[in-house]
Amino acid sequence: MILTAPDYARVKREVRRIHEEFSIIEPPVNPVDIARHLGVTVSFVEFADGHKSISGFYDCEDNAIYVNSEEFPLRQTFTVAHELGHKVLHAEWARSADYKVLMRDSDYSGNEPHEKEANAFAGNLLVPRAMLDRYWKTISVEGLSKLFAVSVPMIKFRLSLEYGV
């Protein structure tokens, strides 16, 4: 199946299914626990010289996510959630030559449909709208970053997307 546009409804359905399956109702959401419960190996490794600019990637042969251990910890959380999105949503595509590793300098604004879906998956998984609804008006961006254990840019991205602020 070739994606020409991101299917955000499907992304949200898959994320909701995971939250329900693991009875996740309060932040922070731990994507490493979820991945491991789904049978995915998650390894934090020091990448070799020449590969230091990679955040992480999903290896479909080993059903494993490899994360750059030298990365800022909250970014590692995002990387795991993003790559888990590829595993859940794009198992077939992740085997193809089109699949790309996640680079450290990438933000949440890429245009490729699979990457947009993986970013939306990560955002909805880690900072679900239903949880954000309870806290966003009373807690600062920095406070939300601590509560949800994600970076400040990720919180700002989610607030902007969900409430247009």
Which range touches Zn ion (CB under 5 A), out of 8-16, 44-52, 59-67, 111-119?
Answer: 111-119
Residues 6 or more apart whose CB falls under 8 angstroms from that of 162 comprise 129, 132, 136
Query: Do the Cβ atoms of 84 and 36 come closer than 8 Å?
Result: no
Query: Do the Cβ atoms of 143 and 94 come closer than 8 Å?
Result: no
Whichever of 74 and 102 has its CB closer to Zn ion, that residue is 102
Amino acid at 60: C
Beta carbon of residue 160, minimum distance to Zn ion (angstroms, whole number): 21
Whichever of 27 and 56 has its CB closer to Zn ion, that residue is 56
Q: Which residues of 110-123 are buried (b: 16+ CB within 10 A; e: fewer)?
A: eeebbbbbbbbbbb
- x-or-dash string of contact with Zn ion, 1-40, rule CB under 5 A: ----------------------------------------
* Binding to Zn ion, residues 120-159 (CB under 5 A): none
Residues 6 or more apart whose CB falls under 8 angstroms from that of 46 comprise 68, 69, 70
Helices (H) and strands (E) in the chain, counts: 7, 4
Which residue's Cβ has the minimum distance to Zn ion?
Answer: 118
Which range touches Zn ion (CB under 5 A), out of 3-11, 40-48, 114-122, 148-156?
Answer: 114-122
User: Which pair of structure tokens corresponds to residue 122?
Assistant: 């990560």
Whichever of 15 and 102 has its CB closer to Zn ion, that residue is 102
- Does position 118 interact with Zn ion (CB under 5 A)? The reply is yes
Whichever of 47 and 136 has its CB closer to Zn ion, that residue is 47
Which range touches Zn ion (CB under 5 A), out of 9-17, 22-30, 35-43, 101-109?
Answer: 101-109
Task: Give me the residues that bind Zn ion (CB under 5 A), please.
Answer: 102, 115, 118
